[in-house]
Amino acid sequence: MTRIAVLGKGRVGSGLAAALTRAGHEVSVADRSPGSAAAAARTARIVINATPGEGSLERLAALREELRGRILVDVSNATVRGPDGMPAALLHPGPSLAEQLQQALPGTPVVKTLNTMLFTVMTAPDSLAQPPTAFLSGDDPQAKQVVRELLGDLGWRQEWITDLGGVESARATEAAVLFTPHLLRSGGFAPFAVSIAR
């Protein structure tokens, strides 16, 4: 059992919190208010950022002391929204959101994962017809191992998890969000994940 704080009460945060609770973890969920997030982060070993990516950097940088020594799992994507509300461009086309979070939080290992799929697949990877891929990006090997085990608790088989390397590799996975609007327009609102076929 691990103490986990989920920042964000939307579909992503609520789904992850429910699944991790079912897996036996002690989970607290915070809304976007600084007081709520700070209180949740202080008591957790792992903090999951499931807040909208466009405000994540400012929001989490304000929690620098509360996040020190915790593992930050970033599942968000920071995008510029088009007229239809779907991702139209990356808010951080150079250094990724994950890289900027790591720079802003030097005492907190950041691991990027689960941001290359529809939110329903995060907690039900076996719901797809083909095996999906969950990517890991981060500079701390021990933190990535903890996150790998956490993904296992969410139903991810170890062979479905691919470690891409350092946090700079999150540039690639964050860019994958630009597939989303095209996939949804062509195939409807159906679960999907970006996967690697070998």
The pLDDT tens digits along the chain (198 residues) read 899 999 999 999 999 999 999 999 999 999 767 689 999 999 999 999 999 999 999 999 999 999 999 999 999 999 998 888 889 899 888 999 999 999 999 999 999 999 999 999 999 999 999 999 999 999 999 999 999 999 999 999 999 999 999 999 999 999 999 988 888 888 888 899 999 988
Domain layout of the chain by residue ranges: 3-187
> In a 10 Å sphere around its CB, with 0-12 CB exposed, 13-18 middle and 19+ buried, how is residue 189 labelled?
exposed
Strand partners, 117: 193
DSSP annotation string for 24-92: T-EEEEE-SSHHHHHHHHHT-SEEEE-S-HHHHHHHHHTTHHHHTTSEEEE----EEE-TTSSEEEES-
Six token digits for residue 53: 């990516």
What does DSSP say about strands 161-165 and 134-137: parallel, antiparallel, or unpaired? Answer: parallel
Kindly report the pTM of this predicted structure: 0.95
* Range 3-187 has CATH code 3.40.50.720: yes
Six token digits for residue 54: 């466009």
